[in-house]
Amino acid sequence: MTYSFAASKWLFALPVALLALNGCQSSDKTGSGQPDLLQANADTTVNPGDDFFTYANGAWLKKHPIPASESSWSIGKEVQNEVYARLRKLNEEATKAKAKPGSNEQKIGDFYATGMDSVTIDKQGITPLQPELNRIAAIRTVQDVPAVIARLQPLGVNALIGVFISQDAKKSDQMTTYLWQSGLGLPNRDYYFNKDARTANIRKEYGRHVARMFQLSGQDSGQAQANSARVVRLETALAGSSRKLEDLRDPYANYNKMAVADLGKLAPSLNWKTLLTQMELGKVDTVIVGQPEFYKKAEQLLKTASVDDWKAYLQWHLVNAYASNLSRPLDNEHFRFYGTVLQGQKEQRARWKRVLDEEEDAMGEILGQQFVKEYFTPETKERYEKLTENVVAAFREHIQALDWMSDSTKQKALVKLSKITKKVGYPDKWRDYSSLEVARDSYAQNVMRAKQWQYRYRANKLGKPVDRTEWEMTPQTYNAYYNPSNNEIVLPAAIFSIPGLIDKNADDAVIYGYAGASTIGHELTHGFDDEGSQFDEKGNLRNWWSKKDRAAFQQRVNGIVRQFNGYTVLDSLHINGKATAGENIADLGGIVIALDAFKKTEQYKKGEKIGGFTPVQRYFLGYALGWQSHQRDEVLAQRILTDVHSPASYRVNGPFADVPEFYEAFNVKPGQKLYLPDSARVKIW
């Protein structure tokens, strides 16, 4: 699905010509009397035409080094810290309350209490998983393997099969079952084959890690080494038939609808009718297979790999899925590889934060109800609903003014834009968790029960009308998304937060850049990027473009692909322009659309400086504020291979190089690093 991340969201002294751009009075403070945030964040030793990201955020970056417990640090992490503090208080109070059994307060209190009880967790060791480990140990032949795979699915263990319930991409009013490539312990296929030294070392460390986890699960050294080799060999074979990151973005190529009876042509050994029944999906008669070649490889391996290979593979994926919820030796070794080797973290994050993260996954909307009640006022909600409408109006004008799109396609684009549902802050109705069981017996068991609840909650949607009022993110999430099947943008309350700045004290220039461009405009544009534009106003995968208009659009997409392919980020690693195209299109679109919306505000029309910056300068600085971020090399390398978003600095410097008003606002000239001649600048929306 085309969900977009909007935050997982860069000045030597200013030249005299720049300082003289606007003759209005300048103030170093905001209307609140507080020092100006944008001014405090800036590093004026950097020229804005060379590296705007660092010019805008350099002082902030110096004041906010990456903590040892983190692989990166960002404005989003700052917001999350504020959210953590609020949720911690809520949870600690719930653990002490004598809450009514089955109430939300009881669930919160018991979940948090078991997660924080490290003494009991250590004492229990791996025993919470023992019933499932026994089932795996009881496998006698390869024919027994599918039943165990089916048993693990509701527990969130996607060994071999990746199943999820979502709207049918071509019939958005129906829920359907998708089968996706899955079952790898490394982030994606490239980790199994890339030959650079960094990735080769990760592969070596992965084999050691798997062996160590087998030992911590009770196996002797020899057995653990042998089982690790089995796992890596099996996963490498699966990775060889897994699609690359950029290929997963083609909605047509990843839509292969077939009757359950026809699945036997892909992988008869899985006995699909029985398998789906065991996965609690017995009424399913058709499925959408994302990558048929993956399941053909699964069939081959079910015939050629030994029963011991499969037992090792299933045990590994079960333990790996729950390692962070188990005793300290397992938790620490899991962190050593996935935290330190893969992402460069020096130490574990505080347990209470990790428990809150797990609780967020388990029952986030319970926490969300309390969060918005205390921290997202009706006045704030109203401001961002109005801002959203203003950005939509600006987008409408942009579409009407396009010189490369025909009138007939424009009319369809305008219809789609008018039909976009705008969800701001929090849902109108909350998810009912009354059937979720939470107790004080075992932290891992609570997590398992929550995963089963989530799985069944999804499965229960099959055969029922699509609920388009639902949210896929909680209000306390610093993120946002566009869902093509619902043709909707979803903007959680937390995405509008700016640490250290009360919303009422934030001027429109900052808000239009920070929220209007990087979030609202960005998500709106996703409905019209290279992937989202293939869905119509009802959320169905359908071509509504003329052939000529699609070709003209693709020509512009190719331009942004070339631009971002040219950015080398780390060592020899460069941005994958094709994989990141949708996000780069949305970044550029959000910036130019929200800028025109901002030009209609009183602040823009008055032209007064704040903190030494003109309104338009503050707009661009406000956008860059939303991407304050730096990361360790390890996680940067991982994201280049696995993330459809460009690194934060390029989400500022990249699109700004295409925006004429940026050149004017900061006097960017030929010879400066961000300067692109007119002929090389990308213009889409």
Cα 530 from Cα 493, distance rounded (Å): 28
**Over 60: is that where the pLDDT of 2 sits?**
no
Degrees to nearest 5, angle at CA 314 with 308 and 316 = 100
CATH number at residue 195: 1.10.1380.10
The mean pLDDT value for 353-357 works out to: 98
255 and 172 co-located in one domain: yes
What's the whole-model pTM score? Answer: 0.92
Specify the range with the lowest mean pLDDT, choosing from 8-12, 484-488, 490-494, 583-587. Answer: 8-12
Asked if 490 and 606 sit in the same domain, the reply is: yes
Residues 273 and 140 in one domain: yes
In a domain, 156, yes or no: yes
pLDDT digits (tens, 9 = 90+) for 19-63: 222 233 334 444 455 689 999 999 999 999 999 999 999 999 999
* DSSP character string of 638-666: HHHHH-SS--HHHHHHHHHTT-HHHHHHH
Q: Is the dihedral of CA 596, 597, 600, 606 positive or negative?
A: negative
**pLDDT tens-digit profile of 377-428?**
899 999 999 999 999 999 999 999 999 999 999 999 999 999 999 999 999 9
Domain boundary among 267, 300, 323: 323
268 located within any domain: yes
One domain, residues 28 and 147: no
| pLDDT at residue number 377 | 87
Contact 299, 266 (CB under 8 A): yes
Same domain membership, residue 149 and residue 33: no
Q: How far apart are CA 158 and CA 232, in angstroms?
A: 16
Residue 539 tokens, joined: 């959320």
* Alpha-carbon distance values, 497 to 322, 508, 514 (Å): 32, 14, 10
Tens digit of pLDDT for each residue in 298-348? 999 999 999 999 999 999 999 999 999 999 999 999 999 999 999 999 999
In a domain, 464, yes or no: no
User: Could you tell me which residue, 115 or 374, shows the higher pLDDT?
Assistant: 115
Domain region containing 312? 130-323
Q: How far out from the chain centre does Cα 165 lie?
A: 18
Q: Would 296 be classed as within a structural domain? A: yes
- CATH code where residue 476 lies: 3.40.390.10
Residues 593 and 492 in one domain: yes
Last residue of a domain, one of 323, 347, 370: 323
Q: What is the pLDDT of residue 16?
A: 25
Question: Is 331 part of any domain?
Answer: no
Residue 500 is predicted with a pLDDT of: 86
- The count of domains in the chain is 2
Domain limit, last residue, from 284, 302, 323: 323
373 occurs within a structural domain: no
For the chain, percent of residues with pLDDT exceeding 70? 95
Q: Are residues 66 and 185 in the same domain?
A: no
Domain identity same for 413 and 310: no
CA distances from residue 647 to 200, 267, 419, 673 in whole angstroms, order as listed: 22, 39, 32, 18
Residue 300 is predicted with a pLDDT of 98
Neighbours of 134 (CB within 10 A): 9
* Mean pLDDT value across residues 444-460: 98
Question: pLDDT (tens digit, 9 = 90+) per residue, 160-216?
Answer: 999 999 999 999 999 999 999 999 999 999 999 999 999 999 999 999 999 999 999
Q: What is the mean pLDDT of the chain?
A: 94
Residue 153 lies in a domain: yes
d(CA 102, CA 100): 6
Which pLDDT value is given to residue 33? 58
Are both 278 and 204 inside the same structural domain? yes
Are residues 238 and 317 located together in one domain of the fold? yes
Q: Give me the mean pLDDT over the 568-595 stretch.
A: 96
pLDDT at 35 (0 to 100): 82
Query: What's the confidence (pLDDT) of residue 245?
Result: 96
Check whether residue 624 and residue 532 sit in a common domain: yes
pLDDT (average), residues 522-548? 97
Same domain, 290 and 400: no
Domain membership of residue 22 (yes or no) is yes
Strands 162-168 and 171-180: antiparallel
